[in-house]
Amino acid sequence: MQVLKEPKTFPDRGTYSILETLNVDTGKRTVLREFEDTIEAPNWTQDGNYLIFNRNGRIYRYDLHIGTITEIYTGAMSFINNDHVLSPDGKSIGISHGAIEDGLSRVYLVPLVGGEPVLITPIAPSYLHGWSPDGRTLAYCGERNGQFDIYTIPVWGGREKQLTDLPGLDDGPEYSPDGKHIWFNSVRTGLMQVWRMEVDGSNQTQITFDEDSNSWFPHVSPNGERVVFISYRKGDVEPGKHPPNKNVQLRLMSGKGGEFKVLADLFGGQGTMNVNPWSPDNKTIAFVSYRLK
């Protein structure tokens, strides 16, 4: 989730952005490219050939074979944030865009090859994070009446369904590959922790119990066997905030929960890994680290 107001340009964080991959079995990190401005939140395409990321309000495609970068046409959308998700069939991308009129994020769908956006969530703000494996439903974080909860909506639009309803922030909803669960993060117990629930919102179950960290954005591997997430040190941030320019860890645990292992320590946070970063072969994740100028 990234709240956008109405600046004419995106603010300069004073950092370089480093697009990287990491093999979760060997721990090997590979730098793909360095940018002098801010890029965020790489998605891996199903064919394994591209990474999709946002940059200064637009969406781009990075060719993993030859290193070229191409903007994906999204019409008049110029305030796209880091909450974007690829469709299960690989043909569309869901984007969260902060409208110039009110600065509030709404969810739109665009062909992955580029095209005119179609509005899905007229109620704002809404921040997309999940697309059901059957392609029929979107899951997102929405602020309604001053409270951030998790909602779903049919992919063609319609009436949204509220799945969580507790004080504090619930965010980052993402479907398991079998379509049975939605993973998310919640601050309801004091610190930000990873949770999981049934797709109808029932059986909301805490998965992580780390009293030294605030953990965000659980991302399930395509085979459902592993989950990667990002953690801030307790005391570095407020539990309900995930700012940029912080020391964070990328962590890995079983798709059944349990103990985690640290994959990497890095300088990042907001934009590092907001959306699912897994490669189709379940071996590698993509992310963005940052370096101060």
pLDDT tens for each residue of 210-253 = 999 999 999 999 999 999 999 999 999 999 999 999 999 999 99
- How do residues 44-77 score in pLDDT, each as one tens digit? 999 999 999 999 999 999 999 999 999 999 999 9
Residue with tokens 């781009």: 60
Percent of the chain with pLDDT over 90: 94
> What's the pLDDT score for residue 82?
97
Query: And the tokens for 214?
Result: 């605030």
Find the mean pLDDT for residues 144-159: 96
Q: Do residues 234 and 192 make contact, with C-beta atoms less than 8 angstroms apart?
A: no
At 9 the pLDDT is 61
Answer whether residue 5 shows pLDDT above 70: no
* Mean pLDDT score of the chain: 95
Q: Is the pLDDT of residue 8 over 70?
A: no
Nearest CA-CA partner of 160 in 171, 149, 170, 168? 149
Query: For residues 205 and 250, is the Cβ–Cβ distance under 8 A?
Result: no
Instruction: List the single range of 24-28, 96-100, 137-141, 201-205 with lowest mean pLDDT.
Output: 96-100
Give the closest residue to 130 by CA, choosing from 92, 168, 178, 183: 183
